[in-house]
Amino acid sequence: MFKMTFARRAAALLALAAAVGACAADFSNFSRSAQIDDVSTMRELLAAGMSPNQTEPQRGDPGMVLALREDAKRVFMLLLEQPGINLEARSGNGDTALMMAAYKHNMPAVMALLAKGAQVNQTGWTALHYAASAGDNDIVRVLLERHAYIDAESPTKITPLMLAAREGQDRTVRLLLDEGADATLKSAHGWTAAQFSLATDKGYVAEMIAAHLKAKSGR
């Protein structure tokens, strides 16, 4: 009886090890498919029961965020079409699919996510921050049209205007100022948007902001 029990336990452990190995392989295939836009393999994994919200282990990126990061457009659209897809799933660093699409200048993905109901406004970093940092005025306008909060604050109170100023995105700075962004706000570090621009040797942006504030004050 002891030998029989031992054999059964050994068989069960071997079966468990095989299952774990197969599961690890599936996770690896999921991540790789999202990276290289292998839509056929991704479709097979989903049909076999893999969650469309599976994350890759290194960054903790959900499939859609990973696909957008790697410009895997077909895999992104396949995942977006899945009934159980979580539009607000976050990476380990807090990125959502909409934020990544905005940063990558991917207007078709931005529009597709918005059509599905992706949230424009949320606590902390937002898609508007990412679009402003990237200097993508078309996406900035789309987000503002959908009531993105123009002075959204990151956990350290950094606004989209501050990011655009820091990156020297003068066209985006002008757009945000024209749309009502508050250039007098300060980050948790005590810096205004103009100070962010000066810290990165973007003096021309600081001059633009100063001229805006002067005109606004009527002096």
Residues 72-109 pLDDT 10s: 999 999 999 999 999 999 999 999 999 999 999 999 99
Do residues 114 and 146 lie in contact, with contact meaning Cβ atoms separated by under 8 Å? yes
pLDDT digits (tens, 9 = 90+) for 18-44: 333 334 446 688 889 989 999 999 999
**Does residue 15 sit in the same domain as residue 44?**
yes
Looking at residue 120, what is its pLDDT?
A: 97
**Does residue 117 sit in the same domain as residue 219?**
yes
> What CATH number should be reported for the domain holding residue 212?
1.25.40.20
Looking at residue 28, what is its pLDDT?
A: 83
Mean pLDDT, the chain, as a whole number? 89
Provide the number of structural domains found in the chain: 2
**Structural domain containing residue 41:** 1-49+63-82
Looking at residue 61, what is its pLDDT?
A: 93
Looking at residue 57, what is its pLDDT?
A: 81
Task: Give yes or no for residue 219 having a pLDDT over 90.
Answer: no
The structure's pTM equals 0.86
**Does residue 35 sit in the same domain as residue 108?**
no
The mean pLDDT value for 152-177 works out to 98
**Does residue 103 sit in the same domain as residue 67?**
no
**Does residue 74 sit in the same domain as residue 98?**
no
**Does residue 186 sit in the same domain as residue 216?**
yes
216 confidence band (pLDDT: 50, 70, 90): confident
